[in-house]
Amino acid sequence: MFVKNRIKYPDVALAQSMWETGHFKSNVFKSNFNLFGMKKPEKRPTTATGENRGHAQYKNWVDSVKDYKMWQDSQKKLSLLPKNQYIDNLNLMYCIPPPKGDCNIKDYGKMINGLITKANSIISKSKNV
**Per-residue pLDDT tens digits for 64-116:** 999 999 999 998 888 789 999 999 888 777 666 666 666 655 578 888 999 99
Q: Looking at per-residue confidence, does 126 or 104 come out higher?
A: 126
DSSP, residue by residue, the chain: -TTTTT-SSHHHHHHHHHHHTTTTT-HHHHHH--SS-PPPPSSS-----EEETTEEE-SSHHHHHHHHHHHHHH-HHHHTS-HHHHHHHHHHHTSPPTTTS----S-HHHHHHHHHHHHHHHHHH-S--
pLDDT of residue 101: 61
pLDDT of residue 104: 58
pLDDT of residue 109: 84
Q: Looking at per-residue confidence, does 18 or 125 come out higher?
A: 18
pLDDT of residue 129: 67
pLDDT of residue 38: 93
As a whole number of Å, the end-to-end CA separation of the chain is: 4
pLDDT tens, position by position, 14-56:
999 999 999 999 999 999 999 999 999 999 999 999 999 999 9
